[in-house]
Amino acid sequence: MSMLMLRQVPLRGPALRRFDWPSPTMVPRSWMTALFAASAAYAVAMALVTSNPLHRTWGIFAACSYLFAAMLVLAWPSRGRDAALLLSLAGALVVPLGLMAAARLQQPEVRVINKSATLLVQHGTPYLGPASLAAAHSPNIFDPYLPLMTLFGMPRALLGFSVLTDPRIWFGVGFVIVFAAALAVVGVRDVMRWTVLVTASPVIAFSLSVGGTDVPVLACLCLGLALLWREPHPLLAGLALGVAAGMKATAWPAVLIAVVMVAVRDGRRAAGILTGTSLAVFASIVGPVAVLGPNALVQNTISFPLGLASIKSEAVSPLPGRLLVETGHAGHFIAVALLALACLGIAVSLAVRPPRTVPAATWRLIIGLSLMFVLAPATRFGYFLYPAGLLAWLGISWLGFGGAGGGGGPPGAGEARPANAAAQPAYQSANQGSAAASGTTYSTVCA
């Protein structure tokens, strides 16, 4: 049975109820104007406050595009929202990213990805060995990412320099494809416009323009959670979460939370499939590199991010974990201990009150990651892209399916279809009066 059955959705027209916004074109003009105005304010603040020239360049371009986008929404009632989406995408992402890529202006993590890809081509591993790391004087000699992230640097390692071989281009392409899939799986009806809106937002556009390593990981997390929502597919979800875990360690908490949720909701068999698939994908990615150089893998991906290497990370946002580290060895010990306690607290919460729906699991992940980023010894404000992106995906999954007018409330109000209940009817129709009034037939999202 098809996961999603719906007829053509009217993309314009007055919303039947508050938050009945299946498309950005149906969001009230006042809300869209406020959204672009707030984005412009963020970009202006970035341009004025930062001392980083890359961040200032992005802030200038983005502020102008967001301001003009807000004006378009106000001045052009019929097509202003579409024009604003395209303008914000161009001005906040395409133009600044293209100019920076052509001029080789990038944050250090992009150079790290390029270097690791070259090492992988030449030596079969993306990591320098302990001897090279011991003689280094720059933190950028370390590669804190897991092996799969190196693939985004392969175009440049194999084809040489060009704008199209910049890893940020491929971070963006991967994000758009995977995030759009995550929206489509949960039944969002205007996937293209919602994807453009999120990609053009300051959260994603800024990260992609200057660095972007976290963006594809976020997209895979959203897809993995989406595949466990309406009609659970633990095998496919395990593939998505395993890929995310093979790129960056920030995805590991999502795997744990997802497994606990599936075990409680769908049973041990489904949880076993999810766990086994995730571990198999992760092992196939990390295993060969671990065999070739286990010490190099540990020093690059564990010791360095935790501040235990001889050279400290340049991630220096003034958050509590980093401030504690700067006080000395005792402060570093306290920061690591607080981080361990936060992880233990999340684990205890999963045992005492495990999440039973994808929205509940997503909220648990948002809280857990936020605590980790606040307390981590090496941390940046940019890491909060994960909580913000997950929250955006969760909200759009509600709004994009019709919100309050599309099925009796936000997704997650009911129970998801168990993974082993193939013989059960997929979904029950709800709120037929609202559906008939909008000329749209769709199935209710269940959590």
Residues listed for the chain: 447
CA-to-CA separations, 146 to 120, 143, 151, 223, 274, in angstroms, rounded: 12, 8, 10, 19, 21
Backbone angles phi, psi at 379, to 5 degrees: -145, 160
Alpha-carbon span 287 to 349, nearest angstrom: 31
Beta-carbon contacts of 315 under 8 Å, excluding residues fewer than 6 positions away, are 322, 378, 379, 380
Backbone angles phi, psi at 176, to 5 degrees: -60, -45
Q: Which two tokens stand for residue 357?
A: 């729906």
pLDDT for 142: 93
What is the number of H-type helices and E-type strands within the chain?
20, 0
What is the DSSP track for 218-285? HHHHHHHHHTTTSS--HHHHHHHHHHHHTT-GGGHHHHHHHHHHHHHHH-HHHHHHHHHHHHHHHHHH
pLDDT for 400: 64
pLDDT for 414: 40
Domains in the chain: boundaries: 22-105, 106-419+426-438
Q: Which residue has the tokens 């660095």?
A: 211
Q: Distance from CA of residue 26 to its chain's centroid?
A: 25
pLDDT in tens, the chain (447 residues): 334 343 444 444 444 456 778 899 999 999 999 999 999 999 999 999 999 999 999 999 999 999 999 999 999 988 999 999 999 999 999 999 999 999 999 999 999 999 999 999 999 999 999 988 888 888 889 999 999 999 999 999 999 999 999 999 999 999 999 999 999 999 998 999 999 999 999 999 999 999 999 999 999 999 999 999 988 999 999 999 999 999 999 999 999 999 999 999 999 999 999 999 999 999 999 999 999 999 999 999 988 887 777 787 776 677 787 788 778 888 878 888 888 898 898 999 999 999 999 999 999 999 999 998 888 877 778 899 999 999 999 999 988 665 544 443 444 444 455 544 433 333 333 333 434 334 443 333 333
What is the chain's alpha carbon radius of gyration, rounded to the nearest angstrom? 22
**3-state secondary structure labels for all residues of 294-355:** HHHHHHHHHHCCCCCCCCCCCCECCCHHHHHHCCCHHHHHHHHHHHHHHHHHHHHHHHHCCC
pLDDT for 172: 97
Q: Which two tokens stand for residue 135?
A: 């003689």
Question: What is the pTM assigned to this prediction?
Answer: 0.85
pLDDT for 3: 40
Smallest Cα–Cα separation from 166: which of 96, 113, 91? 113
Alpha-carbon span 50 to 63, nearest angstrom: 14
Alpha-carbon span 331 to 111, nearest angstrom: 31
Would the CA dihedral through 55, 59, 65, 66 be positive or negative? positive
Beta-carbon contacts of 355 under 8 Å, excluding residues fewer than 6 positions away, are 257, 260, 261, 264, 361, 363, 364
Smallest Cα–Cα separation from 35: which of 401, 353, 396? 396
CA-to-CA separations, 183 to 399, 401, 402, in angstroms, rounded: 11, 10, 13
Alpha-carbon span 13 to 259, nearest angstrom: 41
Q: Which residue has the tokens 């976020």?
A: 218
